[in-house]
Amino acid sequence: MPATIRDIRRMTGLSVATISKYLNGGNVLPENRTKLEAAIRELHYEVNELARGLVTNRTRTVGVLVYSIESLFNGTLLRYLGEALRRLGYGVLICDSCEDEEVEAQSLRFLVNKKVDGIIVVPVSHRSDFLQPAREAGVPVVLMDRSLDDEEHDCVKIDNRMAAFRAMRLLLENGHRKIAVICSACEYTGVERCKGFLDAMEQAGLPVPDAYRRCGRHAMEYGYQSMKELLRLEDVPTAVFMTNYEITLGAVMAVKETTYRCPDDISMLGFDDLILSQVVEPKMYMVVQPMKEMSERAVELLMQRIRGREAEEPPVEILLSTRIQEGNSIRRLA
């Protein structure tokens, strides 16, 4: 038979109130904590999370809703989020929006119905309507990587526009003037990074021909096709800025299939140093996001809301900085 609180009481001589307080995360005297930990180990006692949830109205579970589990970026975030939550004694319930707003709304409702204590979202939607079930249930939500257009929410992200602007300096300082961009016209991050690209070109007094603007989706296939089209132009750009990992991967694949060589014929600057820079030659220059810090800050912010601290405070937006991972994919022009 599984051990019970009564068994712990008989072994330690402590009251049920003290034992329950300890099991629910409360503070007890050091000597009592020592007795309880020894008894729990010897009895192999396991907390009945369902029963505790009925008492505390907490399940010690956090829902994480991402736009695509296939994305290596999301997979890396899930790893870091899981690590941070496990350290705090929380389990994780993961949902995939499949880059579909309707699926995202259904998944959000599913997580709320599962009585999770809080939800972390890397959203597909641009508007906050899908978060209404969480608001009504009083379940705190923290956004990661992307903001929403119509309302402010707790959010941890990078300054995408500034990150792209600063990255472009690398190409401009190396003498490049004919620079193309492959980005998303619909994802928040792609739109903001394209704005940063255009800001840098405008500040440098450089025009961007329509043929140099490839704005579609953050997908490997789009990066591949767009790079092929750029390399077929009569006036081929000397450099290309790719605004996310999947686009960068597709663009690299496209160049490898041609007679063009990087960086001799075409310079390349990508986004997110995940695996690509470790397996391709030349090594790619990449804009790197602090994904581990982003995850830990999101968990920290969510825990503040779950525990009721600053529950009525206005939304918090945490902006983190990026860095450039150096490589050999950019040629200096005379």
Query: Residue 32: what pLDDT?
Result: 86
CA distance 80 to 77: 5
CA distance 168 to 164: 6
Assigned CATH for 160-289: 3.40.50.2300
Query: Residue 273: what pLDDT?
Result: 76
How buried is residue 282: exposed, middle or buried, by Cβ count under 10 Å (0-12/13-18/19+)? middle
Token pair 């005297």 in the structure block, residue: 29
The residue ranking higher by pLDDT, 293 or 278, is 293
| Structural domain boundaries in the chain | 5-47, 61-158+291-321, 160-289
Instruction: Supply the pTM of this predicted model.
Output: 0.81
Could you give the 3-state DSSP secondary structure of residue 83? helix
Instruction: Tell me what percent of the residues of the chain surpass a pLDDT of 90.
Output: 72
Tokens of 217: 């989706």
Starting at the edge strand found earlier in the chain, the sheet holding 317-320 runs 91-96, 61-66, 118-121, 141-144, 155-158, 317-320
pLDDT tens by residue, 56-72: 556 899 999 999 998 88
Query: Residue 292: what pLDDT?
Result: 96
pLDDT tens by residue, 109-132: 999 999 999 999 999 999 999 999
Assigned CATH for 61-158+291-321: 3.40.50.2300
Query: Residue 54: what pLDDT?
Result: 46
Query: Residue 58: what pLDDT?
Result: 67
